[in-house]
Amino acid sequence: MYIFHKSEALKAYLDEQKAAGNSSGFVPTMGALHQGHLSLIRQARTENGIAVCSIFVNPTQFNDPQDLAKYPRTIEADIALLIEAGCDALFLPEVDEVYPDGQQLKEPYDLGYVETVLEGAFRPGHFQGVAQVVERLLLLTAPDRLYLGQKDYQQCMVLKRLIELKQLPVTLHIVPTSREADGLAMSSRNRRLTEPQRALAGLLYQCLVSIQVKKNLQPFAIVQKECREILEKKGFRPDYIQLADADTLELLEEYDANRPVVALIAAFIGDIRLIDNLIL
């Protein structure tokens, strides 16, 4: 696996691969890699001539500076995992390499409704930072295909909007969420959980399964209330337990058999915020 710290060297490598007829699949990450990330790498490797990964802890998408400071950084272990997964190239830039003209957005992205609800409501400005870094990385890597995990469902919808908005020549592939044995969605933030917190964290997925199972049996408001009470009893602080249109993220008050629906959940356990979702 080649490791690039500078965009010019990366571009030269990618141009060479393109000239040789190799398509490229790109997986943007913030490091602290787990099997969920590696599933994206493996799919990118299977469906393209080369798989490219980036590790960059993007400062513009953190609302809380302490959250940025605490974000796990495990570069040596990440490199070993990427090699094992068959990654061809890793882009490992410094902040100035990604933002040579500074981190301030010159003009906000018109992301529309998908930016305003759920995560957007609880983390204002977050998706502007996500769009900013992903657009920059896509311009630097110019991949044929972009691979994202379903765990960050709203982020996938935001980046789908970004691709349309900027008419970027890349195809988006959303890969199903990788889970632990108890259903907990794999996430870099899981590393920060204490043993007692980790033992409880699978409750988020259990709530999503409950929402799925009861969709033809009870009104959603009752199921939503049950899930909130279960989580609060175990020490969670839920931000939202919500149904939405799976295509538009329009929030729904009730189950709807006539459209694709996704259930989404976000909750704190201690100072760690976990999110998950399930397409019904």
Catalytic residue numbers, as ranges: 37
54 labelled ligand-binding? no
34 labelled ligand-binding? yes
Report CA 21 to chain centroid distance, whole Å.
29
61 labelled ligand-binding? yes
Which uninterrupted H or E stretch holds 10? helix 7-19
149 labelled ligand-binding? yes
Burial profile 71-105: b = 16 or more Cβ within 10 angstroms, e = fewer: beeeeeebbebbeebebbbbbbbeeebbbeeeeee
151 labelled ligand-binding? yes
30 labelled ligand-binding? yes
List the one residue out of 171, 187, 150, 158 whose CA is nearest residue 72: 187
186 labelled ligand-binding? yes
- Classified as helix, coil or strand, 209 is helix
CB distance 144 to 25 below 8 Å:
yes
212 labelled ligand-binding? no
| Binding site feature residues for ATP | 30-37, 149-152, 186-189
| Binding site feature residues | 30-37, 61, 149-152, 155, 186-189
| Binding site feature residues for (R)-pantoate | 61, 155
